[in-house]
């Protein structure tokens, strides 16, 4: 299974990548919404872990753009309070 982890926090990405790879998953990483969209377009991604707050494009917009052409599961992450 190919998993895409999208977050601008490098420590979060590194930790998720390491944990998922230890479980046998192939992990792609992106730090911006545009990077994520390019990876989805060019790789066979099965599952996405997507941060809501990215530096270039809001995570919800990234999700909507992906949903226009793909139907893989997307888990949304947020560091927002409340």
Q: How far apart are CA 58 and CA 26, in angstroms?
A: 25
Measured CA to CA, the distance from residue 31 to residue 11 in angstroms comes to 11
pTM reported for the whole predicted model:
0.94
- Tens digit of each residue's pLDDT (9 = 90 or more) over 20-77: 999 999 999 999 999 999 999 999 999 999 999 999 999 999 999 999 999 999 999 9
DSSP letters of 17-65? HHHHHHTT-EEEEESSHHHHHHHHHHS---EEEEES--SSS-HHHHHHH
Structure tokens at 31: 């730090």
Residue 47 in tokens: 């599952």
pLDDT over 60 (residue 82): no
CATH class in words for 25-82: alpha beta
């Amino acid at each position: 299974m190919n998993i895409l982890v999208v977050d601008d926090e490098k420590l979060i990405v590194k930790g998720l990548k390491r944990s998922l790879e230890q479980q046998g998953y192939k992990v792609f990483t992106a730090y911006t919404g545009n990077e994520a969209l390019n990876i989805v377009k060019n790789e066979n991604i099965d599952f996405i872990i997507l941060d809501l707050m990215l530096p270039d494009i809001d995570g919800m917009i990234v999700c909507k753009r992906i949903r226009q052409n793909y139907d893989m599961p997307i888990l949304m992450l947020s560091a927002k309070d409340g």
